[in-house]
Structure 1
Amino acid sequence: MKNKRIITPNTREEAPLFSWPWDNLQNFKYLLYGPLICKALHAIYTKEITKNDNIWCLHILILFYHRALVHQLWSSYTNMLFLNRARRIDQRGVEFNQIDAEWHWDNFLILQITVASLSYMSFSLLANLPLWDLRGIICCIILHIGISEPFYYWIHRLLHTPVLFQHYHFLHHSSKVVNPFTGAHLSFLEHILLCVVIGIPTLGTALIGYGSIGLMYGYLFVFDFLRCLQHSNVEVVPCQLFQAIPLLKYLVCTPTYHSLHHAETGTNFCLFMPFYDKLWNTLNGKSWDLHEEISTRTNSRVPDFVFLAHGVDIMSAMHAPFVFRSFSSIPFSTKPFLIVMWPFTFVVMLVMWAKSKTFLFSFYNLRGRLHHTWAVPRFGFQYFLPFAAEGINNQIEDAILKADRIGVKVISLAALNKNEGLNGGGTRFTNKHPNLRVRLVHGNTLTAAVILNEIPRDIDEVFLTGATSKLGRAIALYLARRKVKVMMLTPSEERFLKIKKEAPLGFENYLVQVTKYQAAKNCKTWIIGKWTTPRQQYYAPSGTHFHQFVVPPIIPFRLDCSYGKLAAMKLPEDVEGLGSCEYTMERGVVHACHAGGVVHLLEGWKHNEVGAIDVDQIDVVWKAALRHGFKPL
Structure 2
Amino acid sequence: MASKPGLLTDWPWSFLGSNKYLVLVPLLGHAAATLLTTESKERDYGLLFPFYLLVLRLIHNQLWITLSRFQTARSKHRIQFKSIEFQQVDRERHWDDQVIMYSILIYAGMFIFPEGKHLPFWNTKGAVIITLLHVGPVEFIYYWAHRALHHHYLYSRYHSHHHSSFVTEPVTATVHPFAEHILYFFIFSLPVMVAVYAGDGSIGAVGGYIVWNDIMNNVGHCNFEFVPTWAFKMIPFLKYLMYTPSFHSLHHSQIHTNFSLFMPLYDHMYGTMDKTTDNLYEISTIGREDKIDVVHLTHPTSLHSIYQLRLGFSYLASQPYTSKWYLWSMWPVTTFLMLVIWIFNCTFTVEKQKLDKLEMQVWAIPRYSFHYSMESQKKPINYLIEKAILDAESRGIKVISLGLLNQGEELNTNGEIYLQKNDKLKIRVVDGSTLAAAVIFNTIPKETSQVLFAGHITKTCYLVALELCKKGSQVTALIALPLSFFSQ
TM-score (norm 1): 0.73
User: How many residues in Structure 1 have an aligned counterpart in Structure 2?
Assistant: 483
1:324 aligns with 2:313: yes
Provide the residue aligned with 1:344 in structure 2: 333
- Tell me the CA shift for residue 151 of structure 1: 0.3
| SS of the residue 1:425 aligns to | coil
Provide the residue aligned with 2:405 in structure 1: 416
- Tell me the CA shift for residue 114 of structure 1: 3.0
Provide the residue aligned with 2:344 in structure 1: 355
1:207 aligns with 2:203: no
Cα offsets for 1:280-309 (capped at 9, x unmatched): 111112222221221232x53021000010
Provide the residue aligned with 2:128 in structure 1: 138
| SS of the residue 1:102 aligns to | helix
Provide the residue aligned with 2:389 in structure 1: 400
Structure 1 Cα separation of the partners of residues 312 and 346 of structure 2? 18
Provide the residue aligned with 1:524 in structure 2: none
Provide the residue aligned with 1:504 in structure 2: none
Provide the residue aligned with 1:37 in structure 2: 28
Structure 1 Cα separation of the partners of residues 475 and 233 of structure 2? 73
Q: Is the contact made by 1:49 and 1:55 (CA closer than 8 Å) also made in structure 2?
A: no
1:486 aligns with 2:475: yes
- Unaligned 5+ segments in structure 2 are none
- Tell me the CA shift for residue 200 of structure 1: 0.7
Structure 2 Cα separation of the partners of residues 491 and 61 of structure 1? 57
1:168 aligns with 2:158: yes
| SS of the residue 2:197 aligns to | helix
Q: Is the contact made by 1:96 and 1:329 (CA closer than 8 Å) also made in structure 2?
A: no
| SS of the residue 1:365 aligns to | strand
- Partner of residue 238 from structure 2, selected from 245, 248, 262: 248
The equivalences for 1:93-492 within 5 A come to: 93-297=83-287, 300-466=289-455, 468-491=457-480
Provide the residue aligned with 2:10 in structure 1: 19
| SS of the residue 2:400 aligns to | strand
The answer to which of 159-168 and 67-76 deviates more is: 67-76
* Percentage identity across paired residues of the two chains: 35
Structure 2 Cα separation of the partners of residues 203 and 419 of structure 1? 63
Structure 2 Cα separation of the partners of residues 48 and 463 of structure 1? 75
Structure 1 Cα separation of the partners of residues 125 and 118 of structure 2? 16
- Tell me the CA shift for residue 7 of structure 1: 4.2
Structure 2 Cα separation of the partners of residues 257 and 353 of structure 1? 37
Cα offsets for 1:543-569 (capped at 9, x unmatched): xxxxxxxxxxxxxxxxxxxxxxxxxxx
| SS of the residue 2:457 aligns to | coil
- Tell me the CA shift for residue 492 of structure 1: 5.3
Structure 1 Cα separation of the partners of residues 83 and 73 of structure 2? 15
Cα offsets for 1:159-178 (capped at 9, x unmatched): 00111100110000011321
Structure 1 counterpart of 2:413, which letter? Answer: G
Q: Is the contact made by 1:480 and 1:486 (CA closer than 8 Å) also made in structure 2?
A: yes
Structure 1 or 2: more helix by fraction: 2
| SS of the residue 1:36 aligns to | helix
Structure with bigger gyration radius? 1
Q: Is the contact made by 2:167 and 2:252 (CA closer than 8 Å) also made in structure 1?
A: no
Q: Is the contact made by 2:407 and 2:414 (CA closer than 8 Å) also made in structure 1?
A: yes
Structure 1 Cα separation of the partners of residues 115 and 181 of structure 2? 25
Structure 2 Cα separation of the partners of residues 427 and 82 of structure 1? 33
| SS of the residue 1:344 aligns to | helix
The equivalences for 1:523-534 within 5 A come to: none
Q: Is the contact made by 2:299 and 2:368 (CA closer than 8 Å) also made in structure 1?
A: yes
Describe the shift of the 1:114–1:40 C-alpha distance in structure 2 as closer, same or farther (beyond 3 A): closer
Q: Is the contact made by 1:177 and 1:233 (CA closer than 8 Å) also made in structure 2?
A: yes
Structure 1 Cα separation of the partners of residues 95 and 66 of structure 2? 15
Structure 2 Cα separation of the partners of residues 461 and 382 of structure 1? 37
Describe the shift of the 1:168–1:132 C-alpha distance in structure 2 as closer, same or farther (beyond 3 A): same
- Tell me the CA shift for residue 65 of structure 1: 2.0
Q: Is the contact made by 1:82 and 1:361 (CA closer than 8 Å) also made in structure 2?
A: no
Structure 1 Cα separation of the partners of residues 81 and 250 of structure 2? 14
Structure 2 counterpart of 1:64, which letter? Answer: L
- Unaligned 5+ segments in structure 1 are 1-5, 494-514, 516-633
Structure 1 Cα separation of the partners of residues 224 and 39 of structure 2? 45
Cα offsets for 1:419-477 (capped at 9, x unmatched): 11111111101111111111111121121111111111212211102463211222222
Structure 2 counterpart of 1:262, which letter? Answer: H
Q: Is the contact made by 1:82 and 1:359 (CA closer than 8 Å) also made in structure 2?
A: no
The answer to which of 347-356 and 186-195 deviates more is: 347-356
Q: Is the contact made by 2:455 and 2:480 (CA closer than 8 Å) also made in structure 1?
A: no
Structure 1 Cα separation of the partners of residues 115 and 128 of structure 2? 19
- Tell me the CA shift for residue 207 of structure 1: 1.3
Q: Is the contact made by 1:178 and 1:259 (CA closer than 8 Å) also made in structure 2?
A: yes
| SS of the residue 2:476 aligns to | strand
Structure 2 counterpart of 1:66, which letter? Answer: L
Q: Is the contact made by 1:251 and 1:272 (CA closer than 8 Å) also made in structure 2?
A: yes
Q: Is the contact made by 2:46 and 2:118 (CA closer than 8 Å) also made in structure 1?
A: no
- Tell me the CA shift for residue 111 of structure 1: 2.4
Structure 1 Cα separation of the partners of residues 240 and 160 of structure 2? 27
Structure 2 Cα separation of the partners of residues 100 and 18 of structure 1? 16
